[in-house]
Amino acid sequence: MQCESPYQFDAKSQQYYVIDAHISNLKSSVQITYSTDFNNYKDSPKPYKNAVVSVVDSIGNEVPFYSQGNGLYFPLDTFHAQLGQKYKAIIDIEGLAIASDFERVQEPVPFSIETAIVTREEYYTTGEYHPVKGLLVSSLSDSTTETRYLRWKCDEQFLDFKDIPARKYYNDAFRMSVTKSHMQDHVELYYKRAFEVAPNSNSASTFTVTQESLTQEAYQYWMLIREQISNTGSIFDTMPAQVSSNFHCTSDESQTILGYFYATYTTKEAIYIRHQ
């Protein structure tokens, strides 16, 4: 059996751009970086500060995004993506005309936050497993009439009242899920080990759950990103794959554009728990 040599990217003679762009009913942003080498440890991507950025809806309304000087671009606070509307990003970088595909803002799925004290077996360096109590934070989505593609985030804001002012700590975790027709979906979002509820304790946590409704294409993009970065080197890992982009350089088809533009409707719920 003959093995073929892996393909070597010839990117040293050409700049490539990475665009991370999203719009929502709450907050929208575009981040642009560029590099001249696919090996980022040799040439870390740098922020691109002088692009002309806008978002256009399907009926031609255009919303400009303004540079913050660090590769980030934001619209005015008055812009909020509308449910059911289609949008695409349009970017000009030194005469390079770049456009994304249209993305439709999908309907959200009503949900509630569910918490439970659970016991899980944890492995210790002694080679033994011991039961440890912890708090499991989950989302419970209501029934829907069609399949929904969702991206979840759970943030913990930890407050220590022994310090004045109270110290704040932040943890977060991302999850992806598909809510199918006529069923309730239970998605485990966050696990805080060694957690016990204590109403009169000197500390507390606020858990904020964010749901982003996605198109099937955006869901598949984020799933592939998650699989690529979570590989551990096992032979059972997902095989490396080319991560697709919905950006295209319309003025130069040979120009490499990476990243994705997605539109979402974002909803949030929060729960406050005192603990020890």
Q: What is the pLDDT of residue 253?
A: 87
Total-model pTM: 0.80
- The 185-193 sheet, strands edge to edge: 111-123, 129-141, 185-193
Measured CA to CA, the distance from residue 181 to residue 183 in angstroms comes to: 6
> Is residue 219 included in any domain, yes or no?
no
My answer on whether 200 and 115 are in the same domain is yes
Number of structural domains found in the chain: 2
Sequence-ordered list of residues with C-beta below 8 angstroms from that of 70, at least 6 positions apart, any chain = 47, 49
Provide the CATH number for the domain around residue 133: 2.60.40
Statement to judge: residues 152 and 89 lie in one domain: no
Verify that 115 and 197 share a domain, yes or no: yes
pLDDT of residue 235: 45
What pLDDT sits at residue 2? 45
The pLDDT of 69-96, averaged and rounded, is 95
Residues 35 and 98 in one domain: yes
Phi, psi of 225 (to 5 degrees): -60, -45
Domain range for residue 66?
A: 16-106+242-263
Both structure tokens of 143 = 């029934």
Cα-flanking dihedrals φ and ψ of residue 217, to 5°? -65, -40
Tell me, what's the pLDDT at 7?
Answer: 39
Average pLDDT, the chain: 80
Q: Where do we find the tokens 């400009």?
A: 64
Q: Distance (Å, rounded) from C-alpha 73 to C-alpha 31?
A: 6
Q: Is there a contact between 211 and 108 (Cβ–Cβ < 8 Å)?
A: yes
Is residue 9 in a domain? no
Is 4 within the bounds of a domain?
no
What integer pLDDT is reported at residue 214 of this predicted model?
93
209: in domain: yes
Distance CA 150, CA 136 (A): 20
pLDDT in tens, 87-144: 999 999 989 999 999 999 999 988 999 988 888 887 777 778 888 888 888 888 876 6
- Which pLDDT band holds residue 207 (cuts at 50, 70, 90)? confident
Considering the domain architecture, whether residues 77 and 142 belong to the same structural domain is answered as no
Q: What is the mean pLDDT of residues 55-69?
A: 96
Give the pLDDT of residue 11. Answer: 43
Residue 94 burial class via C-beta count within 10 angstroms: exposed 0-12, middle 13-18, buried 19 and up: exposed
Contact 75, 21 (CB under 8 A): no
Residue 157 belongs to some domain of the structure: yes
Distance CA 45, CA 40 (A): 7
In a domain, 133, yes or no: yes
236-246 per-position pLDDT tens digit: 445 455 678 99
Q: Kindly indicate the confidence band of residue 192, based on its pLDDT and cuts at 50, 70 and 90.
A: confident
According to the model, what pLDDT value does residue 137 have? 87
Per-residue pLDDT of 6-42, as tens digits, reads 434 444 446 789 999 999 999 999 999 988 665 544 5
Express as a percent the part of the chain with pLDDT over 70: 75
